Structure 1
Amino acid sequence: MELSVRPGAGATVVTAAGDLDIATSPELRRYLHAILDEHEAALCVDVAAVQFIDSSALGVLVSVYQRLAGRGQSLTLVSPHERLLRTFRMTALDQVFTIVSALPAGPAAA
């Protein structure tokens, strides 16, 4: 798993690549919650380069969503590929998260 962060158009953007699974979920949790501690902006997690996601990683995303919702902010996922969208649909998380196919256009999102 690889993670990176940068400012984006109206949200902090985290890009994830590789597998998000039980082996990487603790690191993912630490990373995302540290970002929430440091940044007051909404969060956008780009999972376009994620090959696999399991229930432990979904749980991490739910915890991030709940924390953001508690402070009136949003979590957006960038997921242009059917392989991950299917997982979000099967777990009904497509009804919880805002899921877009690409990052919004803007000077900081390039």
Structure 2
Amino acid sequence: MNFEIVDRGGYTALAGTGRLNMVSAPKLRDVVTEAIGQGHNRLVLDMAGTEFIDSSGLGALVGCLKAARQAGGDLRIANVGSQVQMVLKLTSMDRILTPYASVDEAFGDD
């Protein structure tokens, strides 16, 4: 999975493409840790290019959410595809990580 980081002023957008699984989950954690280390604690993960997520990917999302909140910020997800949405619903993770329709909408209410 490859990640692109874009600073959007009030928040930072991270876009990943590929499969968020046990192989790519550590990379997501590293990218989020790096962004937080650079002072970006309001993060949106654009999941439009994420075609698959497994339990390792869910664990990485929870870990990244925790890291962002410990840094005084938040992690939100946007542009969630049908497979990812199904996994979030089945695990009730959509209650913790509410999917937003777009990256702009994720922090648009703040």
TM-score range, shorter chain: 0.7 to 0.9
* Residue in 1 that maps onto 2:108: none
1:70 and 2:70 aligned: yes
Distance 1:26 1:66 in 2: 15
Q: TM-score, normalised by structure 2?
A: 0.85
* Residue in 2 that maps onto 1:46: 46
In the TM superposition, residue 89 of structure 1 has moved relative to its aligned partner by 0.9
Q: TM-score, normalised by structure 1?
A: 0.85
1:21-100, aligned counterparts within 5 Å?
A: 21-100=21-100
Q: Please, which runs of 5 or more residues in structure 1 have no aligned partner?
A: 106-110
Partner deviation per Cα, 1:48-83 (whole Å, 9 max, x = no partner): 111111111111110111122223322110134222
In the TM superposition, residue 7 of structure 1 has moved relative to its aligned partner by 1.1
Let me know the Cα RMSD of the aligned residues. Answer: 1.6
Counterparts in 2 of 1:102 and 1:21: CA distance versus 1, 3 Å: same
In the TM superposition, residue 9 of structure 1 has moved relative to its aligned partner by 5.3
Q: Which residue identity does 2:72 align to in structure 1?
A: G
Asked whether the 8 Å contact 2:19–2:51 carries over to 1, the reply is: yes
In the TM superposition, residue 30 of structure 1 has moved relative to its aligned partner by 1.2
The alignment-based identity, stated in percent, is: 24
